[in-house]
Structure 1
Amino acid sequence: MTADVETATDAETTVDADCVFCRIINGELPAYRVHEDGAAVAFLDRRPLFHGHTLVVARSHVETLTDLPEESVGSYFRALRRVTGAVERGMEAAGSFVAENNRVSQSVPHLHFHVVPREYKDGLRGFFWPRSQYADETEARRVAARIRAEI
């Protein structure tokens, strides 16, 4: 499958020689690539939740979303948006689930989003996390204030 390749316009690409995703990006390890451009490389997950489950990996080695340089955010998310639409259309899916982990549950410490094609009643309901509630409005306001203070 051929991918459109755009010229890299983001900050200088960094590589970690021990990172499995960097090795895939550099062609040292095989993967079923579906897209690549200056910001991202997308390929099928080796252990998919459903057929078409795709990983959209930052071309430059950064571990988490918060490590992605601000000047790279737009181009990375344009690639993610493009791949998400392609997965939905290509798999004739009703929708998709797009998810990313920062450190906790991140099996490969290299920024990547999972794009999973979804169908109604496909079995993923409640698959990820149990839900909770705030004790009251005071607790919710206190939590919102803590987060706001960090922005």
Structure 2
Amino acid sequence: MKYSALSIGLFAGALGAPPSEVFMRDDVQTAHLTFHTDSCPETYALAVKADGSTVETAHDGLDIFLIDAPDYLAYSMCKFQTPGEVTLSTKLASDNVTTQIVLSPPQPVLSVRCEGKCLGTYVACYTSSGMLVGPCCNGFCAADLCRPWNTGR
């Protein structure tokens, strides 16, 4: 079989092109966070662009013990500034879907900074060639798609 240099070049160029999945990750994501206080039912919401800029919460008098992060991998990709030392952990909310960040001990969150990209639910987490596209925002990768934590719901 004979191949012309032109057809080989075109074929090689097509293989070297980035997968289409990469293009959907180029926009800056927004983390939609809900902060829950320790001693009362008061909450507040904050939308933080994941571009590395710091967003002040303007709620430095409220002790926060839980942060809902339904659409962004905030535990790994956000930095929460508090007045004292804090230990962060994660758990699932009572809906068995939403990731929550637990602050121990509860204290005010002064600012939030998020950076990085993650993939939404039912988005391909691997390319057709087996390359990882990115981490799932709120769930896990199974059968090449980001799945919600509670798949039996």
What's the TM-score, normalizing by structure 2?
0.27
Query: Which structure has the highest strand share of the two?
Result: 2
Larger-Rg structure = 2
Bigger proportion of residues as helix = 1
TM-score normalized by structure 1?
Answer: 0.28
